Amino acid sequence: MKIPVVKRILSANDDIAAENHAALKAAGILTINLMASPGAGKTSTILATFDRLPEDVKPGVIEGDLASSIDAEKIAERGVPVTQINTGGGCHLDAPMVRSGLSHLPIEEINLLFIENVGNLVCTADFALGADLGVVVASVSEGHDKPYKYPGMFAKADAVLLNKMDLAEVFEFDMDYFRKGIEMLNPGVPFFPCSCKSGAGVQEWVDWLLAQR
Amino acid sequence: MKIPVVKRILSANDDIAAENHAALKAAGILTINLMASPGAGKTSTILATFDRLPEDVKPGVIEGDLASSIDAEKIAERGVPVTQINTGGGCHLDAPMVRSGLSHLPIEEINLLFIENVGNLVCTADFALGADLGVVVASVSEGHDKPYKYPGMFAKADAVLLNKMDLAEVFEFDMDYFRKGIEMLNPGVPFFPCSCKSGAGVQEWVDWLLAQR
């Protein structure tokens, strides 16, 4: 009896994700579900991306957090429309939360939407939100073994950023090992080593992102 | 109908956690459930602790990972008994997994057990395993806002380690802000800033740990 219940819940999420996606497409919005461990640099990636957008690109953000509005405030400081979703302890965003978040955004004024998911390298990969792209932000400080330990996330990604590259030497980061892990799980996935702090490599990511419109 | 089912599952986990705890106590073992984000330094903490144990302390480890046995191999290199649990994608260890892990450990030969949980700053806090102590390893590279964004984990901890202190300046880590967040959630919780790389601060943690026996 249990399996049908679980299927129904996931199917309900997928149905709402499909509705979100249709609404976002109808509004001409490219949507990114940004996933990462806590502190890998999701908000930093969003802010560094904003710095490099052409004028015709109008971003918006849905911020997912268990609690607080720390990241949403950083986005709002840039004058970008943002909605905070507090999951109240929940370990991932789901499609109904995003639907609710969308209802509070001026979607007619934006054409690029970042959904910053809860910091969680496991659970966030399992729930469709209605985004066009699922993007993972890894970071050098987490270590080069992450694709081997958290394969689900990397296997499903449409692109992988590797942030904090300015500290690759300090952390003795083995890039070949990291890339081999990603390629094994997700051959040919677009890969962007970068530093949101120094700005190195960020333009390559932004160029790729804009080409997905 | 759904809520009773969930309650029954959690209660079953708690029952098995209590059995694990009784078995561990009967064997004279102090058990730590070590929780953290991916890459914060759980395995490094375990290895740095091993380096500082008196001869009468005999450690063992249960390693929890979605996949791979990378960390278990590092433990085994030290000649310490270790059991690997692969959750197959699951985002946390639960009490039945630990029970299964215990059946593969020589528990009559050890008196200190580390259970290294899956790297997840959310879900791991919600499942009792049968440990005496729940310990969180945070790291400077994750940023000083983590207690505010992931309060559940920090609120329940019996001790908090803050690893990678050798990089506090590089990451412009605001220690006052971090500590204020922890104290707000969990007043007086033992707190150990340290660097498993340099060894600074690790002895204070080990002294506290050994005093819990």
In this predicted complex, what is the ipTM? 0.92
* pLDDT at residue B11 in the model: 86
Q: Over its length of 213 residues, how does chain A's per-residue pLDDT go in tens digits?
A: 455 555 566 789 999 999 999 999 999 999 999 999 999 999 999 999 999 999 999 999 999 999 999 999 999 999 999 999 999 999 999 999 999 999 999 999 999 999 999 999 999 999 999 999 999 999 999 999 999 999 999 999 999 999 999 999 999 999 999 999 999 999 999 999 999 999 999 999 999 999 999
Contacts of B170 in chain A (CB under 8 A): 167, 170
Does position B4 have pLDDT exceeding 60, yes or no? no
Residue A179 · residue A168 · CB < 8 Å: no
* pLDDT at residue B1 in the model: 47
Give whole-number Cα distances, B160 to B2, B46, B194, in Å: 35, 14, 11
Out of A70, A149, A170, the one facing B66 most closely (by C-beta) is: A149
Question: Shortest Cα distance from A16 to chain B (angstroms)?
Answer: 21
- B43, B123, B140, B141, best to mutate vs chain A, most A CBs in 10 Å: B141
Contacts of B118 in chain A (CB under 8 A): 122
Residue B56 CB partners (closer than 8 Å, separation 6+): B111
Taking an 8 Å cut-off on Cβ atoms, the answer to whether A149 and B68 are in contact is yes
Report the pLDDT averaged over residues B101-128.
Answer: 97
* pLDDT at residue A1 in the model: 46
Report the pLDDT averaged over residues B38-64.
Answer: 98
**What are the pLDDT digits (tens) for B84-106?**
999 999 999 999 999 999 999 99
- Residues of chain A whose beta carbon is less than 8 angstroms from a beta carbon of chain B are 2, 5, 37-39, 65-68, 70-71, 89, 91, 118-123, 139, 141-143, 145-146, 148-152, 164, 167, 170
- In the structure encoding, which two tokens stand for residue B186, read together? 């969990």
* pLDDT at residue A11 in the model: 86
Out of B67, B121, B148, the one facing A149 most closely (by C-beta) is: B67
**What are the pLDDT digits (tens) for B148-173?**
999 999 999 999 999 999 999 999 99
* pLDDT at residue A83 in the model: 96
Share of chain B above pLDDT 90, in %: 95
DSSP E strand boundaries for chain B: 30-36, 59-65, 82-86, 112-116, 133-139, 159-163, 191-193
Of residues B8 and B25, more confidence is placed in B25
Out of B5, B142, B164, the one facing A38 most closely (by C-beta) is: B142
* pLDDT at residue A9 in the model: 62
| Segment (H or E) for A10 | helix A2-26
Spatial distance between the Cα atoms of A197 and A202, rounded to a whole number of angstroms: 10
Report the pLDDT averaged over residues B67-95.
Answer: 96
Does position B47 have pLDDT exceeding 60, yes or no? yes
Spatial distance between the Cα atoms of A97 and A92, rounded to a whole number of angstroms: 10
Name the residue type at position A147. Answer: P
Out of A66, A71, A152, the one facing B152 most closely (by C-beta) is: A66
* pLDDT at residue B6 in the model: 54
* pLDDT at residue A91 in the model: 96
Closest residue in chain A to residue B63, using alpha carbons only: A149
Taking an 8 Å cut-off on Cβ atoms, the answer to whether B167 and A164 are in contact is no
